[in-house]
Structure 1
Amino acid sequence: MKLTIERAALLKALGHVQSAVERRNTIPILSNVLLSAERDRLVFSATDLDMEIIDQAFAQVDQPGQITAPAHTLYEIVRKLPEGADVSLSFTGEDPRLTVQAGRSRFNLPVLPAGDFPVMSSEGLSGRMSVDVTDLIRLIDKTRFAISAEETRYYLNGLFLHTVQSEGGAPRLRAVATDGSRLALAEMPAPEGAVGAPGVIVPRKTVNEARRLLDDAGEAVDLAISPQKVRFELRDAALTSKVIDGNFPDYSRVIPKDNTRIVMLDAKLFAKAVDRVATISAEKSRSVRMAIEAGRVVLTVRNMEAGQAVEELEIDYDGDPFELSFNARYLLDITDQISGETAEMRFGGPNDPALVLDPVDPDVQYILMPLRV
């Protein structure tokens, strides 16, 4: 294998695929990236056996071939090469190492046979749809913060992507994430092909890697889904991943239907106030008490060691007074997602979940459980 490629193109493609490679691997080949030189292209593949990322870049190929090299080491070398450099990659077989050369810099890297590199099958991906990149970015960004990191409830460690029928009868593509304390839901009109596709739980790592790739995806993404796998096909890249084998809980049961206490407030001012008073909160619970009454909300944090913080904000509310406590970090995560200036918060009883809506984006909902303190 022998080729020449621009440093920028090489760095971009390596950056896309190398993040799939775990830093610590008991299987040596999984630490490597598969380099396949063919015609005028260099194709890159990386996998952790649960997810595979493939990308490609234009290259001047003098001799086609395949080899694998350490993914993170190669990426760091290319990252530190001068901008605008032409990089030559060569592996002759006579020297059992990959030669990377740019200007006066020369590196020799250990390799492993391309035949040992595992390839993830994309068979059975029957449910296919084309999704606008902007819409898919919105679904991910509005919900992924609520994905659970608790490994015991593995079925919550991903984003539940599925289609539903709206009240008006039109199908919707919906993304839902929850960790048991909060829930985020975002939806959009279902693209052609979405109806009948199975609902899948896309793992957290896959969601994050797909989101990174979407920044360079062009206008649309082809999404293919089966009960076992999901595949994102972008301009030059493709991400294939296993989905979580489990049943996502019936989240519709926790969405409040009778929260009649409606509070309208300035989302940014509220977030800054919560952040300020939470400075002295206990690290574990980060509890913030909200005392709501006509025209105002009083935020209070009490910490036996650090003292007390109180801040008052004007709100649009004219009902009976009530109080609840919430995790400050969760409040901030949700207010960060509000697109406009105003957030709408709907409350029920003292132990009922709060419903947070975005008046600018009616297709998102957030549910937050109060703390019992």
Structure 2
Amino acid sequence: MKFSVNQQDLQKSLGYCQGVIEKRSTLPILSNILIEAVNSKLKITATDLDLIFVNEISNIKIFDEGKTTTSSSIMFDIVRKIPSGSQINFENTGESKLQLESNKSLFNLNSINASEFPITDENFNENEFIINSKDLLKLLNKCKFSISNDETRHYLSGIFFHQTQTDDKNFLTAAATDSHRMSISKVRLKNKIEFEPIILPKKAIFQLCSLLEDYDGEVKVSNIKSKIKFELNNSILISKLIDGKFPNYIQVIPRENQKKLEIDLKSFLNSVDRVASVSLDKKDGVKFNLTKDNLDLSVNNTNSGDGKESLSVKFDTDLDISFNSRYLLDIASQLNGDNIEIYLKDTGSPALIKDPADFDSIYVVMPMKG
């Protein structure tokens, strides 16, 4: 195998691979990437057995076709330090060596035969649909911060995707919760799709986000019983799905929250962030002391001090309630409008948060005691 590739193209591809490969794998081959130079393209594959990432680079020169594997982290570290725009030449020089040469740099990297790399070839054409990359990224970003880190409840450690209908309109709806907060978002589909409900794992979500942030176009989504595949222009991501039943999140959405609190979004974000500065533990609550058209935000920590700030708001009554400041900041940072709307019932009931600029996304936050 012998080929030449642009440094920037290769660095970008290898950068994606770092999010897939486990840093401490018990199987040496899983620390490697599969490199295939064939059919005028360079194909790079990374996997941890649960997640498979494939990226193709077409802007290359192939002198001899072939394939091998080598350390993903070492190769990435070398390539990112080579001057931007340089050409990098690769050649298999022996049974277990891959030579990398660029400018005045020369490296001989250990390699493992490509036949040992675990790859699967499954038919994903049973259920497939097309979604715009920006719509898919929106669903992921609106929900990912609400994913649970509790490994004992694995069914909450991902985003739940399913198809819903409202007034004969079809939507792809996403939901995530850690039992303290919940995010729900949906995007309109052109047609009804054949798509069974799934729970997408956290690692796949963050890898998919990194791909979608650099891509503007269509994404083909196809799934079989235990796996899902996302196809972009020159990348493929295949992930195992979480085996479990997502709870009935609809019944958790508050229905009787009639007390509407309306606040300037930027002012709210900045104020919560400032008063939370005295908190040594981000789990400390920020207290809302609400009177007519006024909100006093306060945080009190016995070890560090206290902070207080007032905001002019739209609100009609008196109410005291406390929330985890981190939860509020996570939600507020995802809103698109000028204001944030928080619907309240009483001191002990969950709050419903809405974005006036996005009627297709809602958030629920449990209050803190005290």
Asked if Structure 1 and Structure 2 have the same fold, meaning a TM-score greater than 0.5 normalized by the shorter chain, the answer is yes
Q: Which residue of 2 aligns with 1:155?
A: 155
Question: TM-score when scaled to structure 2?
Answer: 0.96
Map of 1:162-201 to 2, 5 A cutoff?
Answer: 162-166=162-166, 168-192=167-191, 194=193, 196-201=194-199
1:312: Cα distance to partner? 1.1
Map of 1:35-46 to 2, 5 A cutoff?
Answer: 35-46=35-46
Higher mean alpha-carbon deviation, 154-163 vs 303-312, is at 303-312
**Separation of aligned partners in 1, 2:124 and 2:218:** 22
Contact map agreement 1:147 1:177 (CA 8 A) in 2: yes
1:45: Cα distance to partner? 0.4
1:124: Cα distance to partner? 4.5
1:170: Cα distance to partner? 1.6
Shift in CA distance, 160/30, structure 1 to aligned 2, threshold 3 Å: same
1:125: Cα distance to partner? 4.9
2:299 counterpart letter in structure 1: V
Q: Which residue of 1 aligns with 2:214?
A: 216
**Separation of aligned partners in 1, 2:183 and 2:299:** 26
| Structure 1 spans left out of the alignment, 5+ residues | none
**Separation of aligned partners in 1, 2:95 and 2:115:** 18
Identity of aligned residues (%): 34
1:282: Cα distance to partner? 4.7
Q: Which residue of 1 aligns with 2:239?
A: 241
1:55: Cα distance to partner? 0.3
Q: Which residue of 1 aligns with 2:127?
A: 127
**Separation of aligned partners in 1, 2:78 and 2:42:** 17
Q: Secondary structure at the match of 2:183?
A: strand
Which of the residues 277, 280, 301 maps onto 1:279? 277
Higher mean alpha-carbon deviation, 180-189 vs 278-287, is at 278-287
Runs of 4+ residues over 3 Å off in structure 1: none
Shift in CA distance, 192/268, structure 1 to aligned 2, threshold 3 Å: same
Q: Which residue of 2 aligns with 1:113?
A: 113
> 2:57 aligned with 1:57, yes or no?
yes
Q: Secondary structure at the match of 1:134?
A: helix
Contact map agreement 1:206 1:241 (CA 8 A) in 2: yes
1:273 counterpart letter in structure 2: S
Q: Secondary structure at the match of 1:197?
A: coil
Contact map agreement 1:182 1:330 (CA 8 A) in 2: yes
CA deviations 1:324-348 (Å, max 9, x no partner) are: 1100111111111110110111001
Contact map agreement 1:294 1:317 (CA 8 A) in 2: yes
C-alpha RMSD over aligned residues:
1.4
> 2:358 aligned with 1:361, yes or no?
yes
Higher mean alpha-carbon deviation, 126-135 vs 232-241, is at 126-135
> 2:329 aligned with 1:332, yes or no?
yes
1:284: Cα distance to partner? 5.7
Higher mean alpha-carbon deviation, 184-193 vs 118-127, is at 118-127
Contact map agreement 1:130 1:191 (CA 8 A) in 2: no
| Structure 2 spans left out of the alignment, 5+ residues | none
Contact map agreement 2:124 2:222 (CA 8 A) in 1: no
> 2:344 aligned with 1:343, yes or no?
no
Question: TM-score when scaled to structure 1?
Answer: 0.96
1:118: Cα distance to partner? 0.5
Q: Secondary structure at the match of 2:320?
A: strand
Counting matched residue pairs gives 369
Q: Which residue of 2 aligns with 1:72?
A: 73
Higher mean alpha-carbon deviation, 10-19 vs 342-351, is at 10-19
Q: Which residue of 2 aligns with 1:352?
A: 349
Shift in CA distance, 193/91, structure 1 to aligned 2, threshold 3 Å: farther
